[in-house]
Amino acid sequence: MKNWISFPHVEGRASRQAHCDLPEGTYEQEMGREGFFGPASQLHHKHPPTGWVKWEGPLRPRAFDLNKVREVGPDPWAAQLVLHNAATKVRFWRTEGTMEALARNADGDDILFFHEGRGHFFCDYGHMTFRDGDYIVVPRGVQWRLECDEPAQVLMIEATGDSFKLPAKGIMGTHAIFDPAVLEVPRIDEAFQDQYSERETACLIKREDTVSMVTYGFNPLDAVGWHGDLAPVKLNWRDIRPLMSARYHVPPSAHTTFLSGRVIVCTFAPRPIESDPGALKLPYFHANVDFDEFIFYHRGQFFSRDNIHPGMTTYHPIGFPHGPHPKAYETAMQYSRKETDEVAVMVDTRDMLRVPNLPDGVEWSDYYKSWQQK
C-alpha cells in the first residue's frame, strides 16, 4: 500500500479553482501526475510556459505530415511505422483494392482508425463495412482482410503484448461518452458467405515484427457461426458524445475511448466551447510528467493549434510543458468560437516513443518554433 505525498496548499496569487478565473495577467500551467488522473497543482506564470526562443538537443516538440507518406502497402505489416516503444507501435497505412493475403497480429491487439476510405472488413467472425471515422478494434490472433471500395488511409495502433479495453466511466454511468449498444460486431451475412472459397489463401502472421506466411488450401474465413463475448468491434467517432462543462475545461482523460496497460487512446470530437466568462476555453498549459502524447488530426480545425491540418500529427514527449499556440490562445480567450469542429485521435504512452527514419518531408522540423509570438 502506498499513498501520494499530499499537502493541499495555496501560495501567492492563485485562482480559487483550477482552470477558472486566473489572476489577471497570468498563464496557468498544470503540473500533474498519472496523466490527469493523479495529484496536480496549478502554477500561475507571468509568461507562457512555452515561451522558448531556442531549442537544442533531441528532446523537443515534433510534428509530422502523414499526407506525405505516399507509398501504398499491400498489407498492414508493410505500413509506415511512425512511432514505437515496447508497449505500442503506431503505423500509417495507405491501401486500396483487395488484400490478397489475410493478416494476423500475434504481438497484440490492433486499433484500425480509418482516416479516409470506404469498404469491407472480413475476419474470422464475419463481415462489417467501414467508412471514414471508424475505429475497428481487432483482438490479438484474429485473421482479417480489407476490400476497399475507395482508397483507404488507416492509422494503426498496436497494444504490444496487451489488449485494448474500455475505460471505467465512474459516476457518469455505463452509457456516458458512447452507449455500448452502438458497438458493432462482424456478422455472418451474405457478403461473408459469398467469399467462402476453395482457393489457396495465405495469411501473414506478425510476431516480434517478423512476418511468417502460412498457406491454406482454402479461404480460412469460413465460419458458419459463433457465440461468445470476444470479437472485433467497430465504433465511429460520430457516435461519441463528449463529456463537457460550460463552466470548466475537462481534461483529456475525460475523452478516453480505449486503453491498455500502458497506452491510452482518446477521441476529441466536436463539442460546445465553455461559455462561463471565467473558464479557460481551450487546453491549459501542462507539463508532460508521466506520459508521452501523440495526436493525429482527422478533420476540422484543431482549436488549440495553428497551421495544423487533417492528416498531420504532433508528438510531445515527457520532459517539458506544452499547450495552445499564441494565436489559438488569444482567439479562445476572446470566445470568438462557440464550438469546436475538430476530430482527433490522441495516443498517450507511459514509455518514451521512438521516431524511426521517416520519408523526406514528413517531419515539420521547425514545429518547436510555432509557439513563438509573431
- For the record, the C-alpha cell of 228 comes out as 461468445
21 dihedral zone (left: phi>0; alpha: psi -120 to 50; beta):
left
In 3D, which of 83, 86, 85 has the Cα closest to residue 64? 83
- Give the distance from CA 139 to its chain's centroid: 18
- Give the distance from CA 328 to its chain's centroid: 21
Q: Which residue shows C-alpha cell 467469399? A: 195
Cα(57)–Cα(242) distance, rounded to whole angstroms? 38
Would you tell me how many other CB atoms lie within 10 Å of the CB of residue 71? 11
Does 292 carry a binding-site annotation?
A: yes
Q: Helix H segments across the chain?
A: 190-194, 326-333
Cα(49)–Cα(42) distance, rounded to whole angstroms? 12
Look up 84 and say whether it is catalytic.
no
Backbone angles phi, psi at 67, to 5 degrees: -65, -20
Q: Which of 19, 84, 249, 325 is catalytic?
A: 249
Which uninterrupted H or E stretch holds 283?
Answer: none
Does 286 carry a binding-site annotation?
A: yes
SS3 content of the chain, % helix, strand, coil (to 5): 10, 40, 50
Which residues are the active-site residues?
Answer: 249
Q: Which residues are annotated as a binding site?
A: 286, 292, 322
Q: Which residues are annotated as a binding site for Fe cation?
A: 286, 292, 322
